[in-house]
Amino acid sequence: MKTLTLRRPDDWHLHLRDGAVLKGVIGDTSRHFARAIIMPNLVPPVVTTEDAKAYRERIMAALPVGDRFQPLMTLYLTEHTQPDDVEEGKKSGLITAVKLYPAGATTNSHGGVRNLDNAMPVLERMAKIGLPLCVHGEVTNPEVDIFDREAVFIETVLEPLRRRLPELKVTVEHVTTADGINYIKSAERNLAGSITTHHLIINRNAILVGGIRPHYYCLPVAKRENHRLALRAAATSGDARFFLGTDSAPHVDPLKECACGCAGIYTSLNTMSCLAHVFEEEKALDKLEAFASLNGPAWYGLPVNEETITLEKRDEPAVYPDKRDTEAGAITVFDPMYPLHWHVV
């Protein structure tokens, strides 16, 4: 039997939602993870420091008794975000990052940014005070093919922004392409990328072959196999610029299994077993701690966790529910399409 002990991991991109879904899913994160960056795309979004404070309180109230978990709050960037509010949020220790959603790019992003020029005062302040910008790196122009939206975003939005504000720290979230990986590797500083669990495991065939499979649909959408391989190479390389952001994004099943299903894959529950499987396949189990537990805190300037987590590889596969039941309805858990032999103990 193989065992693997790591510092307790963190999740640098997580959707916890609110109300009954929050109550139903949070335990799947707090069981394994010490901290997570909490996405602000609620309805209405978490826009001000005051909103973030109230949301943090709701998260703490939903936490299973006895779990130690620290939500790291983000603000949803709008064209009206106030630089002073953002600075205050950082100073008080409440705000870890600000999130840029190009308007219309993904779930609940209609209030996002249309013209980045209008957000420059906030971005300049963030560069000055060292507060990272997390970006959903996809353009939304209808002319751009959905499989090209990340590469076009890098070229037409991100690179110009970084030239204009070289001191701004930018996290490219949920990188899905070799283009994204290469761009991050080409930067000497102030640029990093998070990678999800599912993008290491599926390519676009999972969504489209043999019938349409809504539980593999997320944004950015999974790409061709060569991109998945580039993500795996980056994640398992130990390169400090890459770290785990699961982008676990729960939607109750009726919202996914319909004529216009929501984007989002629910991976919090089995992420650590999936990652151990992937890293073992890549003969890189020794790099899993860097990816899941060390590189993220280094980038965000936070201490690494002192507690540990142990995984064991057993002959019998891990048994876990295929759906997480919540008071709002059932949420399908990510199925990697193979049995998982790594158990979290």
> Which active-site residues does the annotation give?
247
Tell me the C-alpha to C-alpha distance, in Å, between residue 95 and each of 74, 105, 126, 241, 295: 6, 23, 11, 21, 19
Residue 280 touches Zn ion, criterion: CB under 5 A: no
In the complex, what is the shortest distance from the CB of residue 50 to ligand NCD, in angstroms, rounded to a whole number? 22
In the complex, what is the shortest distance from the CB of residue 109 to ligand NCD, in angstroms, rounded to a whole number? 7
- Using the contact rule CB under 5 A, the part of the chain among 70-78, 247-255, 283-291, 337-345 near Zn ion is 247-255
149 binds, among ligand NCD, Zn ion, none (CB under 5 to 8 A by kind): none
Is 341 annotated to bind a ligand? Reply is no
One DSSP character per residue, 228-268 reads HHHHHHHHTT--TTEEE---B----HHHHSSTTPPP-BB-T
Candidate list 11, 247, 280, 289; residue touching Zn ion; CB under 5 A: 247
Letters for 189-228 (x = contact with Zn ion by CB under 5 A, - = none) are: ----------------------------------------
Which residues, listed in sequence order, are joined to residue 3 by a DSSP beta bridge? 312
Give dist(CA 120, CA 288) in Å, integer.
Answer: 37
Is 247 annotated to bind a ligand? Reply is yes
Q: Respond yes or no on whether the N-terminal peptide bond of residue 336 is cis (omega within 30° of 0).
A: no
Residue 178 vs 219, nearer CB to ligand NCD: 219
Is 10 annotated to bind a ligand? Reply is no
In the complex, what is the shortest distance from the CB of residue 218 to Zn ion, in angstroms, rounded to a whole number? 8
Residue 11 touches Zn ion, criterion: CB under 5 A: no
Q: Is 36 exposed, middle or buried (0-12, 13-18, 19+ CB in 10 A)?
A: buried
Count the residues of the shown chain that bind Zn ion, applying the rule CB under 5 A.
1
- Rg over CA atoms, the chain: 19
Residue 138 vs 247, nearer CB to Zn ion: 247
206 Cβ contact partners less than 8 Å away, ≥ 6 residues apart: 213, 216, 222, 337
Token duo for residue 94: 């409440």
Interacting residues with ligand NCD (CB under 6 A): 15, 41, 106-107, 136, 218-219, 247, 249, 263-264
Give dist(CA 82, CA 275) in Å, integer.
Answer: 39
Is 117 annotated to bind a ligand? Reply is no
Tell me the C-alpha to C-alpha distance, in Å, between residue 135 and each of 46, 98, 191, 217, 220: 16, 9, 11, 20, 12
In the complex, what is the shortest distance from the CB of residue 64 to ligand NCD, in angstroms, rounded to a whole number? 23
Residue 51 touches Zn ion, criterion: CB under 5 A: no
Which residues form the interface with Zn ion (CB under 5 A)?
247
Q: Which residues are annotated as a binding site for substrate?
A: 15-17, 41, 136, 219, 251, 263
